[in-house]
Amino acid sequence: MVNKIVLRKGKEESLGRFHPWIFSGAIHHTEGSTPLEEGDIVEVLASDGRFLAIGHWQIGSIAVRVLTFRRQPINQAFWQKRLAAALDVRRAIGVAFREDNDIYRLVHGEGDNLPGLVIDIYGTTAVMQAHSVGMHVCRNELANALKEVMGERLKAIYYKSETTLPFKAQLGQENGFLWGEAGNDIARENGLAFHIDWLKGQKTGFFVDQRDNRSLVERYARGRKVLNMFCYTGGFSVYALRGGAELVHSVDSSTKAVELVNANVELNFPGDNRHKAFAEDAFKFMERTPSNSPLKGEDKKSPFKGDLEGLYDLIILDPPAFAKHKDALHNALRGYTKLNAKAFEKIQPGGILFTFSCSQAVNKDQFRTAVFTAAAIARRKVRILHQLHQPADHPINIYHPEGEYLKGLVLYVE
Ligand code: SAH
């Protein structure tokens, strides 16, 4: 017998608007043969017994993540249909089935009606990540469905959920291949090659979500001196080099990231001496960079003595999420202001600043206000040229606006 959850009176409204989450406070009682376990499939009923949805049960403030609003079995055929629909969207967008681009996000959780699941494709390897116990329980069914949908294009499925599954679930989950084995670690994005470290890298190994924004950097890079701050694998740096940048400096506090950016530059532009990478804290690095305002005394440690002074006229700021939760919002906004103020201070007149926030808790307007405050602090004249967001292979379910997270501004600084 399927476990059932009966909602309190009036609590079915958000489901009527297809919102895919049910909060624990909405539940009146549960019915079933055995006590519910995290990850179980449950049927959700209104207080009058009416069928509403089927979803995965979880412990926490979100109690159910809805998989379907129709009564249907949740099995491999179900997953296959959802994955095929996701692949159709990627083909429509123009990121899948291309010779020159085999890096894309196939599944973006709620955005693909698969709450709690992320799948990124890197060449012939898929990296699957569960953010809910329910998806973890279904991982083998999902892997089989994925093989069917991708066919010959896929040679391996790596499961990487060690850090994304709820800690309290104590699943003892280890990362590893569900199918196939480690092969070629090189994949392509818009004709540029990247080593993808899905075994040890951050997230699924690469920040797929900046593809379109990297292309825009390429368009602006010609003849410019570029600073790619928080570079990680160096996506922006490689695009800037292809776009004809005069020099590119990549900065990340992680030495592993600096090794990766160097390897990726070497892969695409062997021996190109326009690029240099620094393993250093962003704020410390910016402190050492000469200001556009007259320098206060000479900094002995500056790597920019002599001909490199007064430097950058294209700066990219793509920091990690400053606010992981709503409670951290205030500090996060101050962090964005401080960081952007530094960049405004340093950038050359006529410079272009690409600035991002990937904190879901910070909305577009709050981010824009933080950047506006930074411009005022640095007393620079600034025009907004572009307003950026996550790409189409990270779609937002219209009934789940919480799926919007990446925002960016491209600014012209006088
Ligand atoms: N722009 C990258 C993604 C950036 S992820 C891309 O397109 O792929 C954020 C990066 O910031 C991580 O690699 C992390 O190591 C780095 N980072 C975090 N704190 C930092 C700090 N204080 N100074 C410099 N880098 C930092």
Residue with tokens 């069914």: 141
Total residues found in the chain within this entry: 414
Mode of pairing for the β-strands spanning 27-31 and 3-7: antiparallel
Pocket test for ligand 1, best of 226, 232, 251, 288 (most atoms within 8 A of CB): 232
DSSP H/E element including 176 = strand 176-179
pLDDT of residue 192: 98
Give the nearest ligand 1 atom to 232 CA: 13
Mode of pairing for the β-strands spanning 27-31 and 21-23: unpaired
Rounded to the nearest angstrom, the distance between the alpha carbon of 202 and the centre of ligand 1 is 10
CB 320 near ligand 1, within 6 Å:
yes
Provide the 8-state DSSP code for 326: G
Q: Using alpha carbons, select from 206, 275, 276 the residue that is nearest to residue 242.
A: 275
Which residues does the chain have with pLDDT short of 70? 1, 33, 292-310
Q: Using alpha carbons, select from 143, 146, 136, 171 the residue that is nearest to residue 40.
A: 136
Instruction: Count CB neighbours of 115 within 10 A.
Output: 25
Q: What one-letter code names the amino acid at 363?
A: N
Do the Cβ atoms of 240 and 228 come closer than 8 Å?
yes
CB 332 near ligand 1, within 6 Å:
no
DSSP H/E element including 384 = strand 382-389
The CA distance from 352 to 384, in Å, is 10
pLDDT of residue 310: 57
Mode of pairing for the β-strands spanning 247-252 and 225-229: parallel
pLDDT of residue 65: 97
Do the Cβ atoms of 366 and 79 come closer than 8 Å?
no
CB 230 near ligand 1, within 6 Å:
yes
Tell me how far apart the terminal alpha carbons of the chain are, to the nearest angstrom: 67
Both tokens assigned to 127: 């990296």
pLDDT, tens only, 66-103: 999 999 999 999 999 999 999 999 999 999 999 999 99
- The backbone torsions φ and ψ at residue 310, rounded to the nearest 5 degrees and listed phi first, read 80, 30
CB 257 near ligand 1, within 6 Å:
yes
pLDDT of residue 292: 63
The CA distance from 130 to 128, in Å, is 7
Q: Nearest 5 degrees, angle CA 117-CA 121-CA 122?
A: 140
pLDDT of residue 308: 40
CB 218 near ligand 1, within 6 Å:
no
Rounded to the nearest angstrom, the distance between the alpha carbon of 229 and the centre of ligand 1 is 7
pLDDT of residue 300: 44
pLDDT of residue 184: 84
Rounded to the nearest angstrom, the distance between the alpha carbon of 314 and the centre of ligand 1 is 17
Give the nearest ligand 1 atom to 257 CA: 13
The CA distance from 81 to 74, in Å, is 11
Rounded to the nearest angstrom, the distance between the alpha carbon of 234 and the centre of ligand 1 is 10
Pocket test for ligand 1, best of 230, 250, 256, 339 (most atoms within 8 A of CB): 230
Both tokens assigned to 287: 């402190």
Q: Which residue has the least CA distance to atom 1 on ligand 1?
A: 231
CB 282 near ligand 1, within 6 Å:
yes
pLDDT of residue 183: 84
The CA distance from 371 to 376, in Å, is 9
pLDDT, tens only, 265-321: 999 999 999 999 999 999 999 888 777 644 344 444 544 444 344 589 999 999 999
